[in-house]
Amino acid sequence: MTNIPTELLRALIAVVDQKSFTKAAAVLGVTQPAVSAQIKRLHVLLGCKLLDRSAYGIALTPQGELVASHARRLLSINDQIVRAGGDAPRPALVIRVGTPSDFVASLLPGPLARFRERWPHVGFSVRTDFFDALIRDLRSGALDLLIGLSINAPVDARHCWAQETVWVRGHGTEVEPDRPVPLVSYGDPCIYRRVATQALKTANIEWEDVFIGPSIMSLNSAVVSGLGVMPLTRRRACDLDLLVWEDSWLPKLPDLHTGIYVREGGANAVYEQLADEIADVVNPHAAEPAQLLRMRVR
């Protein structure tokens, strides 16, 4: 059964009431492309066209009239359910954060907790995914802030820095040169797996996926137990107390780039302040001048 997210219905009603995508975006506190993306997604989910933009201004199609009518009732019921919670305080602003899964438990809780101490009206909605999916959502307005790893140095990040990527293994792991390299990773499209397989392919070295896991802890356990080797940034390897294979005969891996991105629009000043405070924690070069940081990643 298809479930329709309420934010898509709110976007539809805002466009109808404001008779403008731009004005609807201002009312909702998002960007105009974000509203367009939400309406497009609603069209895809329902399999029909709801808005007619060929007429003067914006008009509802017959199907759109029916959907808008139901949407108003559904949103009214939704708001009544929310109000049924009584006077319990609720965050006035929920910041939507996207990040790789291994950042969630180890790096984010501290700065988020300290930020909320000073901004008690702020809440957080954190989701994990691969970088390509997260950056698309940030640019469409579905995320407010993104901490991600990329192969190339970002040009549109508020903060960015390069990180050395290394091979890690268990103390008893043996990797024979005449056999395929046993890889541990998140699977496709994991950035670590992509840089590893590209480096191995360039060196004409065969590999095999021996363990694909859903979390950094599962990958950690697989490496420690000797199942295979894994590419990781040196800092994360040290944080996890994993053994860096310093004298590896495997090809050297390229640096990866950490970027902290902030979407345009919405409570932009708040997003930027949170981005700065997260950078102070996760950026090993945070104490360096901004100019040196830019030079480091170029």
Over the stretch 216-233, which tens digit does the pLDDT of each residue have? 889 999 999 999 999 999
Tell me if 258 sits within 8 A of 148, measured CB to CB.
yes
Q: Is the dihedral of CA 162, 164, 165, 168 positive or negative?
A: negative
CATH 3.40.190.10 in the chain: give the residue spans: 93-156+258-296, 165-254
Tell me the residue ranges of DSSP E strands in 87-189: 93-99, 122-128, 145-150, 159-163, 165-169, 181-185
CATH 1.10.10.10 in the chain: give the residue spans: 6-83
174-187: per-residue pLDDT in tens?
A: 899 999 999 999 99
Q: At what angle do helices 109-118 and 268-282 cross, to 10 degrees?
A: 140
Intervals of the chain under pLDDT 70: 1, 29-30, 54-56, 85-91, 102-106, 285-298
Tell me the residue ranges of DSSP E strands in 53-135: 59-60, 93-99, 122-128
Q: Which CATH class is domain 6-83?
A: mainly alpha
Domain 165-254 fold: D-Maltodextrin-Binding Protein; domain 2 (3.40.190)
Domain 93-156+258-296 fold: D-Maltodextrin-Binding Protein; domain 2 (3.40.190)
